């Protein structure tokens, strides 16, 4: 181990804490690289069922961050339950131009050998690139990051969610411009095929520091509790699915928990029109799977939105553009426009994905998605209800996917269990959805580390997921050991 790696005391984290998954590792190594605080994480994923320790996607994030930041590691191997990350020691700048060390590359290529999530690797690299890119000696401050891996895989943000929800919300809270471009999709199911995504990262701005000579990169002050979500002004749907018909599919099997759904077989009764209306709540077997998913999502979403309180929606002239959406009529209760934002043909029966995104009056996006083959919650109970409606087993599974996505989205808009509780101390739900909220935790903590910004206590913490609680815990453990001197970081 190099001598400059032992100047700061090692911070020890228990990998079983709270959610106890890969997110804990990714946030910890990102903060370690930024603050030059060495860390050791033990019991990694040891409270998880099945295989313990680091997986391939975790390892890729660790190795590439170490490479980019000039750090070293111990225990970085698949299955390891203990990891030590030793960042290059902070060095005090010798002049106002920050005596540059080795410059961070302006083009970074990351290649996963499996369909591990592109975006979970990005999560570990992004905070460091934001900061190091700002003090790089290269003339082009913009950093291009290319990652090969999975773009639509289970328990990870999808490309569609990142492009439509994460990127706009990051900009809304003051982070520098970030663009993301899909080159090729990579799915976690079906035939093995890696995808590719290109990111263009604008680093942090250099700001004058009264306590230092010259300027320093600074994370923007961020207090998510100060933002209000506002009302819902429109809803957009993204559908990825095959154009194969249910009735003519050649007996292919769809993985499901406890059973295998066959595409094809039993004929359903009735007809569903393109507008989402149905004669007997069933489906037209001459339509494609993609058309069925679109129509069923619109039908289920319109039905669910009518049950929500009207005060969460934008009304009046601001929602008058509902007329442009033929799938939504003025008689639809709250009158918020609902339309298909994007639909894409896939080429394997297991490649079915839905994303629903709400636009708010304050400029935020609230999203929820669902990927075929990932069972959550009471899927079996839902499928039992859908079997009563008739149709092939595969149709039952697809209906379950739609209902799961719609139910999750509606709960993001209005959680009756929490919002009907009058004893909430005047607090309000977060301005973003649960997934995005935990993605913002590290930037909120870093923004507070360089400013006098304090929490205002207006955000209702009951909406925080276990991932969010874990993210906050890691940030507190890492940033409370000493005040991080982010200004002295040398790429």
pLDDT tens by residue, 144-179: 999 999 999 999 999 999 999 999 999 999 999 999
Model pLDDT, residue 67 = 93
Distance CA 264, CA 243 (A): 14
Across 289-293, average pLDDT: 96
HSE-CB at 185 with a 13 A cutoff on CA atoms is: 20
What pTM value is reported for the model? 0.84
Distance CA 197, CA 186 (A): 10
Tokens coding 232: 């819902």
Which DSSP letter does residue 166 get? I
Q: Among the residues of 256-329, which ranges form H helices?
A: 289-305
pLDDT at 324 over 80: no
pLDDT at 187 over 70: yes
Across 59-74, average pLDDT: 95
Nearest 5°: the CA angle 370, 375, 376 is 80
Which DSSP letter does residue 245 get? B
Q: Which residue has the higher pLDDT, 258 or 344?
A: 344
Distance CA 216, CA 207 (A): 5
Distance of CA 431 to the CA centre of its chain: 15
Phi, psi of 471 (to 5 degrees): -60, -45
Answer yes or no: are the C-beta atoms of 61 and 29 closer than 8 Å: yes
pLDDT at 61 over 50: yes
Q: Which residue has the higher pLDDT, 103 or 331?
A: 103
Q: Among the residues of 345-423, which ranges form H helices?
A: 379-387, 393-413, 416-419
pLDDT at 269 over 60: no
Tokens 């401050």 sit on residue: 141
Distance CA 89, CA 71 (A): 9
* CA separation, residue 399 to residues 21, 158, 236, 273, 370 (Å): 30, 21, 19, 16, 12
Name which of 192, 195, 190 is nearest 158 in CA terms: 195
Kindly indicate the confidence band of residue 330, based on its pLDDT and cuts at 50, 70 and 90.
Answer: very low
- The mean predicted confidence, pLDDT, of the chain is 81
Q: Which residue has the higher pLDDT, 335 or 69?
A: 69
Across 82-102, average pLDDT: 59
Distance CA 92, CA 102 (A): 15
Q: Which residue has the higher pLDDT, 342 or 280?
A: 342
Comparing 40-44, 136-140, 205-209, 316-320, the range with the smallest average pLDDT is 316-320
Tokens coding 469: 């609680």
Q: In order of start, what are the domains of the chain with their CATH numbers?
A: 3-227+430-488 (3.65.10.20), 232-417 (3.30.360.20)
* CA separation, residue 32 to residues 37, 327, 450 (Å): 5, 49, 16
As to burial, measured by CB atoms within 10 angstroms (0-12 exposed, 13-18 middle, 19+ buried), residue 271 is: middle
Distance CA 413, CA 235 (A): 11
> What is the per-residue DSSP string for 333-356?
TT---EEEEEEEEESSTT--EEEE
Answer yes or no: are the C-beta atoms of 153 and 114 closer than 8 Å: no
Across 315-343, average pLDDT: 60
Distance CA 206, CA 431 (A): 28
């Amino acid at each position: 181990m190099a001598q400059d790696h032992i100047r700061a005391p090692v911070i020890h984290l228990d990998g079983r804490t709270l959610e106890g998954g890969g997110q804990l590792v990714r946030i910890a190594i990102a903060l370690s690289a930024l603050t030059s605080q060495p860390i050791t994480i033990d019991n990694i994923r040891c409270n998880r069922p099945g295989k313990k320790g680091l997986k391939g996607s975790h390892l890729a994030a660790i190795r590439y961050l170490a490479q980019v930041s000039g750090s070293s590691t111990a225990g970085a191997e698949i299955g390891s339950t203990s990891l030590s990350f030793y960042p290059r020691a902070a060095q005090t700048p010798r002049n106002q131009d920050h005596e540059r060390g080795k410059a961070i590359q302006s083009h970074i290529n990351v290649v996963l050998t499996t369909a591990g999530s592109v975006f979970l690797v990005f999560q570990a690299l992004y905070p460091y690139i934001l900061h190091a890119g700002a003090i790089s000696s290269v003339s082009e401050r913009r950093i291009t990051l290319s990652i090969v891996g999975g773009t639509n895989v289970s328990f990870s943000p999808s490309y569609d969610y990142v492009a439509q929800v994460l990127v706009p919300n990051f900009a809304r809270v003051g982070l520098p411009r970030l663009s993301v471009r899909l080159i090729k999709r990579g799915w976690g199911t079906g035939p093995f095929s890696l995808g590719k995504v290109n990111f263009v990262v604008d680093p942090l701005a250099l700001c004058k520091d009264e306590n230092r000579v010259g300027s320093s990169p600074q994370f923007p002050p961020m207090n998510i509790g100060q933002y209000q979500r506002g009302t819902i002004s429109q809803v957009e749907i993204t559908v990825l699915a095959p154009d194969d018909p249910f009735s003519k599919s050649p007996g292919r099997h769809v993985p499901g928990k406890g059973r295998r759904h066959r595409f094809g077989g039993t004929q359903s009764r009735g007809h569903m029109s393109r507008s989402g209306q149905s004669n007997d709540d069933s489906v037209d077997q001459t339509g494609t799977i993609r058309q069925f998913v679109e129509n069923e999502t619109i039908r289920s979403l319109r039905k669910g939105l009518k049950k929500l309180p009207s005060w969460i929606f934008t009304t009046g002239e601001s929602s008058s553009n509902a007329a442009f959406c033929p799938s939504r009529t003025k008689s639809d209760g709250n009158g918020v426009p609902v339309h298909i934002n994007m639909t894409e043909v896939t080429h394997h029966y297991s490649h079915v994905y839905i994303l629903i995104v709400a636009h708010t009056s304050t400029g935020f996006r609230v999203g929820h998605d669902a990927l075929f083959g990932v069972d959550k919650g009471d899927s079996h109970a839902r499928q039992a209800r859908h079997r009563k409606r008739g149709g092939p087993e595969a149709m039952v599974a697809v209906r379950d996917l739609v209902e799961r996505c719609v139910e999750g989205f509606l709960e993001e808009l209005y959680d009756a269990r929490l919002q009907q509780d009058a004893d909430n101390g005047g607090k309000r739900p977060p301005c973003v959805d649960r997934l995005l909220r935990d993605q913002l935790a590290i930037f909120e903590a870093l923004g507070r580390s360089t400013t006098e910004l304090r929490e205002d206590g207006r955000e209702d913490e009951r909406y925080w997921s276990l991932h969010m609680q874990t993210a906050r815990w890691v940030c507190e453990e890492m940033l409370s050991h000493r005040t991080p001197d982010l200004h002295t970081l040398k790429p």
